[in-house]
Every structure is written in C-alpha cells, then in structure tokens.
Chain A
C-alpha cells in the first residue's frame, strides 16, 4: 500500500489515555493499546476531529520549522484569506500585513488569488455532459481522502482540478522569476488552517509533488503576528502589494457555499461538517439522486472558518470574512489582480492525475477470504453487547470484531465477555486483568492507585 502522510501526531507524554479521540473519529481509525491511541494510517483522513476533542492537547500538528524561511533569499508567504479574519476587527488588514512583512517575508500573497481563474474551469466542467455527475469538489483534502477510503465508488466523481493553493503557488514562482528572482531563492510557505491541507501538501493526492516549500500552522502564525502587533514592533506599510485585489466571491470561496456561488449552471449543493458529508455521500451511493451537477463538500463545520488551526470562533471568523467580501466588487480586472494575465498559462497546469480509491472497508484482497472474515465478524458482533463502551480499546463492538478477525485483537478484551467467561471459570480474574492492562496500561488499573477507598 502507498505511503500516506499524516499531519496529526500524538504526544504520549501528555496523553492520559481517555480515548475521546477514539470515539469521535469519523473513519474509526484510532484504537487504544497500552493506554495510548494508535492511528491506522490507511483509515485516517486528517480531518482533525481528534485534535479538537483532545482535552489534554496531546495531539499536535506537525509543521516546518519557522526558521527555515530564512534559508531562502526570497521567502514568500501564501496566506488563506481567512487568516486576517481571525483577528479582532479593530486590527486592520494593513496592520496584519505589515506585521507579516516584519517577520521577514519578502512577498505576501493570498491563496484565493487564483479563484477567478479556477471558477471558469469548474463552470466548464459542470456544463460538460461527458463528466460523471455530480462532480465533487476536490478543494477540501479531508473530503478527497474520505471519498478514497470510505466511498471508493465515488472517486470517479472527484473534480480533477488543482485547488487554489497550488495554482497560486505556480503563479508566484512564475511571476517572481519574471521579476528577476532566481528560482532557488524562492521559498513558498503556506499557512495551513487545518491538518488535511498539510497532509495534502506533504503527500498530494493525484500529483507527484507539491509546489510548496514549507508549511506553517495558522495558529502559530497568528500568535507570532498578534505579538508583533501588540508590541507595535512593525512599521505600517503603505503598499499592500497583491493583498487586496481579491474579488468578492474569492474572499467567500473558503466559507460554506463559496464554491457554488459562481457556478452558473445546473443544480449545486454545499455541505459542511464531516458527518453531514458522510450522510449525504451514503445517500448518493444508495440512490440515483437525479440532476445534481456539483457538490461542494467541506470537512469542517463552517468550512475553513472552522479549520482546526484557526485561532478564533468559527462564526466570528466567517462574519469578519463576509464583511470584507462586502467591500469588494464581484469582478476585478487584470490590472488589479495580475494573476488574471496568466490565465492561459495556469489553465494548462490545471488538471491533476486520477485519484485512486483505497477502501478501508475491504476485509481482505481475496474475496473468498473476505467472505469468511465477514461471516466471522457477524458472528462475533452478535456475541458482543453492542453498547460500544470502548473498554476493549475500539470505537465500537463491530470494530473490535473486525480487529479480532484480522488477528489484531482478542475477543476477551471485551469486559462483558470477560464477565461471562469468569462465570464458567473459563477465565480467571487475573487473566482478565492482564488483558485489560494490555489495552489501558498498568497505571489505570494499579490496585494502589485509588486513594479514597473509604468513599467506596
């Protein structure tokens, strides 16, 4: 199986083994062993639900060392437009931008600069009768991965165009070389609002390699920039380079409904939050949902305003973003947004390769073996209590049954099975304890760990 990069990592020294991450994972990719979560890299889609739910901040999202920007003579920052919407409204766009320059960046670009070009291509594809409908947006990388692992039959519906991030990066490289910078001097650093975007940069789906040289987490940059602003270390810049000229709908693009705003043809739907998306894709697989042409699907509630690396409240971020959009015209000219002069060039680089399914549901590559395993899973699941208590370390009774059938777990990890076996002397208390300790570690089950026995 191909190697899939994940941006989410566990810090076991902070983890208290509460297994909240196990319970919220939409693809059932985490189970507990020795008191800590274990991630199944073939199931994880980098949505970040675990990161959001962890009470100990024991999950982190890897990023590149900020200092690496200084390895380039011409460090460029590529900002999602949502970045400036994190700040309180009294902090001006210009102050934010000036603070970023103060940190050492030579150029600041916004990711959505290329949206005006991309939307033309999307419109063409939606109108194209030969395309498998509904076309599904490939903008949200967590959704692309969700479809790969959970809805392999819908992989052919994914729109094979580059997201704005890659298009803008290609443009930047092109235009900076034109301005006389040596290609090796240019380092493009992307500010990521979520783990999925980072994973997509580090191992792009349907592409050989990314155009991004480094990734900075959005909350990290937010902290750095806010500090510069608070301490008034920067000088307010007059020029705002390419920062402002986004069109109204480019600014709205990363919010829910942003992609479908500009589609002039057919029936289009926008759905956000990973469980909502899953419900809809289930339905889409089951029945012929007639006449839907395009689906904008986003893993986060409120789309990128709800990105797990966003620093503020998602509704306030979306509000500020919408206010900014209101002040901008629907159409901008090539004189305002230089990228429009690169229209033809970028359209040549628009498509990405086919996305391959990698089904997580498949029990075995051999169908006879899969059949035998499926029968076994049914039988075992029937014997389990179906309370999905997670004491066995798995998200659900069915997940334990599958792990048992695949030889990864012992059915005696189930606390109900233990009690049943103990009644007929098929399992001693000591054996049961040993099994449970293998899941939850020694500490939680140490007989001396309860200090207030008198209360019990």
Chain B
C-alpha cells in the first residue's frame, strides 16, 4: 500500500503525524511491537528533521507484507558531509543550540540503529532524501 504525506518546515505542532499514522497501520497488520517501535522512532526523528531544518518535504510510505519502506524527500539546505553526520556525536549545531540540549549529534546515528536499512543522499542547497526500510 502506498501513501504520501506532506510536511511543512517549521510546523513543530504537527510533527509526528506521519509516524503516528504509520504506527497505527503497522499495529493493524499485527507487526511485532518491537519492529513497530523501531520504525516509529526512526521515522519520527526523520520527520522532525524536515520540520526543524528543511522548507518542506514529502514522505512516501510503502507498506508491504514483509517490510515498510519510507522515503522522506525534502527541499532544504542539505547535508554537506553525510559520512560525518552519520557519526555519533558529530553536530553542526551552534553552542547556543547545544546548551539547550539539542544538536547532540545523535539524530542520524539513532535513526540508523532503529532501521534495518538507512540510505541518506543529499545535495547542498537543494535538499536531502532519507530512506528507511524495516523488515517484519
């Protein structure tokens, strides 16, 4: 089954709507709760990234019998060095942001540990595409 959802940059109040919808569908399918949890954590993180950093984005969800494949395509600043961004603790956040407890450099690593397959591609100045695949 295929679904598409739009995400607006800066709309924190509605961040998490897609992960919540996907969660509900996975529960209906009777997917193992731990897989549901992993998927929701990874997807939520990715969704909030669009809200926090991009201008807008589209989330494409493909729900199959054996897996869920979510592609998050955003228009935004992009990530200059993906390899670094995948490292635990690496962050480009300003000291000010870190002082508040954000920008700990755990976003992508956390996503990776909750996804069976994580692919991140990005073009600076254009946007980022994140694909999360989890198998049941």
Contact = CB atoms under 8 A, between A and B. Distances in A.
Chains A and B come from one and the same complex? yes
Contact of B1 (A155, A288, A375): A375
Contact of B29 (A285, A374, A378): A374
A357 interface: yes
A117 to B, nearest CB: 32
B23 A286 contact: yes
Given A153-B33, A371-B1, A286 B27 contact: no
Contacts of B65: 367-368, 371
A332 to B, nearest CB: 41
B92 interface: no
Grouping DSSP codes into helix (H, G, I), strand (E, B) and loop, the A interface class, with mixed when no group exceeds half, is helix
Interface residues of A, number: 23
A377 B29 CA distance: 12
B102 to A, nearest CB: 11
A350 interface: no
Given A286-B16, A368-B65, A357 B33 contact: yes
A153 B37 contact: yes
Given A152-B33, A153-B33, A371-B1, A362 B16 contact: no
Contacts of B30: 359, 362-365, 367, 370
A383 interface: no
Nearest to A156: B33
Contact of A285 (B1, B34, B37): B37
A287 interface: yes
A362 B23 contact: no
A361 interface: yes
A287 B40 CA distance: 7
Contact of A361 (B20, B28, B44, B136): B28
A240 interface: no
Interface string B1-26: 10000000000000010011001110
A378 B41 CA distance: 25
Interface string A266-302: 0000000000000000100111100000000000000
> Is chain B's interface secondary structure helix, strand, loop, or mixed overall?
helix
A288 B36 CA distance: 13
B31 interface: yes
Contacts of A153: 33-34, 36-37
Interface string A333-366: 0000000000000000000000001010111110
A26 to B, nearest CB: 16
Contacts of B64: 371
Interface string B42-77: 001000000000000000000111100000000000
Contacts of A288: 41, 44
A362 B28 contact: yes
Contacts of A374: 1, 25, 28-29
Given A153-B34, A288-B41, A371 B29 contact: yes
B25 A287 contact: no
Interface string B105-133: 00000000000000000000000000000
A367 B1 contact: no
Give the top 6 A-B pairs by smallest Cβ distance, nearest first.
A153-B33, A362-B30, A361-B27, A370-B29, A152-B33, A153-B37
Interface of A: 152-153, 155, 282, 285-288, 357, 359, 361-365, 367-368, 370-371, 374-375, 377-378
25 contacts: A152-B33, A153-B34, A153-B36, A285-B23, A285-B36, A286-B19, A286-B20, A286-B23, A286-B44, A287-B16, A287-B40, A288-B44, A359-B27, A361-B27, A362-B28, A362-B29, A363-B30, A365-B30, A367-B29, A367-B31, A367-B65, A370-B29, A371-B63, A377-B28, A378-B1
